[in-house]
Amino acid sequence: MKLSIRSIYIAIYLLLAAVMFVLIHFLGVHLISDSLITERKAALYEEASALSKRYFFNVRSINAFDDQTESTLRERMSSLQTMSHARYFLVDGTGRISVDSAEQNSLEGQNFNDLNPTFLDSDTYMGHLNSSYLPKESLSIIYPLSGDHDINGYLVIMTSLKELRISARHLTKSFRICFVLFFLILLFILLELYCLTLHPLRQLSLTIREYSQGHFKTKMKNLPLREYDSLTTAIHNLASSSKNAGAYQKDFVANVSHELKTPLQSIMGSAELIENGLVKPEDMPHFIKNIRTESARLVALIEDIIRLSRLDEGVEIPKTEVDLLNVATETAELLRGNAEAKNVSVKVHGKSAVVFGVDRLIYEIAYNLCENAVKYNIPGGAVDIGVDARKGKALLTVRDTGIGIPKEQQSRVFERFYRVDKSRSKDSGGTGLGLSIVKHAAAYHNAELTLESVPGKGTCVTVAFPLYDGSENAE
């Protein structure tokens, strides 16, 4: 099953939401809690250092304090406990608690080594001490008090980790609110992206469906993004091509039907007259000749249609070296009889120009152009066939002094069955496909086809082939 872009958007959104929620809910609490503990630890250690320098500088023995001094220290430590939410202890070198800032549940007289033997081994302790009067989980700073380079006691500052964890959870709640706002904004952004990307694609799909059903009047809506312009243009061009192809197919079928019907009617009419005995014996050769002429015309028409069909399909045909000068000379010789009958002179001039192509198709290009130049010429006119090679091109030029082609019709003369002068074309014979074959055969050889014509003065058609350079890829 193929995925849709919408489902991918939804999956990415939900995945991001789940990952962010897990990070904030679990990892976020842990990181914030660790950060608060680190900050609290540094603050308590700094406070212990300041208290040590102020009250316990060069202390010889914690047990040496008199009752008044201990009472004064207890009051001050009790005040500090109220302000900082931490518990303060003065501990002698053996671990015995001499002063406790707590007024209730005091631990004075007890020994920290009894609560945890490793408690005084480091400057920081995190965990539980075996006493119901202390927090279940605490952070303790153990600051050594020294005199004459000997440790005579410790200042212990203890705070509950529970409060730090509660603070971390409160901060996490703030992050969760930010998380919700962030994903609401992200949802809005995804909806906008959907409107900018998927919705236009759906509009394009609906338009293409209308075009496929032949509704070419459907207008393409303006799409919001610049990147869609090329796609819109391509679809519009494809629709125009399809529309033109449909019209062209209808015209082609109509033209073929007409071109086939005319000779068939002539053949059927002549055959019926002969079959019913209505033809005199002396007229029989005329009717037989008419049947043979119209049959030959049908065969030529069918062969031209098949040839064009093969060119449209792009069937690969073996290629060889072809000299345009030889083709032009041979074509002139074949048409010399027709030209003399119309009192038209045919001349060939130029130099050798070799192309790599299909000799039969190149010959048909030259023959059809020269045949038209003779057919639509005037008595006493001329046909000039030129061959040249320059700038990497092999040029075949056919120039006549005939009737010419009106400017508004010059772009259509290479269409199938198109005739400039339909009445004259019928009289001159032909299938109406000659110039169309020229166009497709030239395209098959990557040749450029140009036409210049002035009514009453003549026409010039030039076919520019790629000049053969000895490589079979020269096309």
Secondary structure of 179-220 in HEC code, one letter for each residue:
HHHHHHHHHHHHHHHHHHHHHHHHHHHHHHHHHHCCCCCCCC
Provide the residue type at 466 as one letter: P
- Examine the pLDDT at 470 and tell me if it is beyond 80: no
Here the tokens at position 371 are 């045949």
The DSSP bridge partners found for residue 400 are: 383
Confidence of residue 424 (pLDDT cuts 50, 70, 90): very low
d(CA 347, CA 325): 12
Q: What are the angstrom distances between the C-alpha of 135 and each of 124, 128, 138, 436?
A: 16, 7, 6, 101
- Return the HEC string of 11-27: HHHHHHHHHHHHHHHHH
Write out the DSSP string of 393-450. EEEEEEEE-S----GGGGGGTTSTT--SSHHHHHHH---S-HHHHHHHHHHHTT-EEE
d(CA 241, CA 234): 10
* 354 C-beta neighbours (distance < 10 Å), count: 19
d(CA 456, CA 410): 14
pLDDT of the residue at 33? 78
d(CA 39, CA 33): 10
Convert 432-469 to b/e letters by CB count within 10 Å (16 or more is b): bbbbbbbbbbbebbebebeeebeeeebbbbbbbbbbbe
Q: What are the angstrom distances between the C-alpha of 54 and each of 73, 140, 141?
A: 12, 20, 17
Here the tokens at position 412 are 């259509």
* 10 C-beta neighbours (distance < 10 Å), count: 13
- For the segment 294-312, the average pLDDT, to the nearest whole number, is 71
The answer to whether 166 and 176 have CB atoms below 8 angstroms apart is no
The answer to whether 87 and 159 have CB atoms below 8 angstroms apart is yes
Q: What are the angstrom distances between the C-alpha of 106 and each of 69, 87, 103?
A: 18, 10, 6
Phi, psi of 466 (to 5 degrees): -65, 130
With CA atoms as reference, report the closest residue to 304 among 428, 436, 463, 413: 436
Number of residues that this document lists for the chain: 475
With CA atoms as reference, report the closest residue to 225 among 199, 187, 189, 188: 199
Residues 227-266 have pLDDT tens digits of 667 777 777 777 766 666 565 566 556 556 655 676 787 7
Which of residues 195 and 276 earns the better pLDDT score? 276
How far is CA 357 from its chain centroid? 38
Provide the residue type at 371 as one letter: E
d(CA 311, CA 268): 32
pLDDT of the residue at 301? 67
Question: Packing angle between helix 161-212 and helix 5-22, nearest 10 degrees?
Answer: 180
Kindly report which listed range (221-235, 315-329, 459-473) carries the lowest average pLDDT score: 221-235
- For the segment 418-446, the average pLDDT, to the nearest whole number, is 69
pLDDT of the residue at 343? 93
Residues 14-69 have pLDDT tens digits of 888 788 777 766 666 677 778 888 888 898 889 888 888 877 655 555 655 666 66
The answer to whether 158 and 89 have CB atoms below 8 angstroms apart is yes
Phi, psi of 433 (to 5 degrees): -115, 0
With CA atoms as reference, report the closest residue to 119 among 159, 156, 162: 156
What's the predicted TM-score (pTM) here?
Answer: 0.47
d(CA 103, CA 70): 14
Kindly report which listed range (378-382, 416-420, 446-450) carries the lowest average pLDDT score: 416-420
d(CA 329, CA 311): 25
pLDDT of the residue at 67? 66
d(CA 394, CA 467): 5
- For the segment 200-214, the average pLDDT, to the nearest whole number, is 75
Own/partner pairs for 92-97, CB < 8 Å, 24+ apart?
92/61, 92/62, 92/63, 92/152, 92/153, 93/61, 93/62, 93/151, 93/152, 93/153, 95/119, 95/120
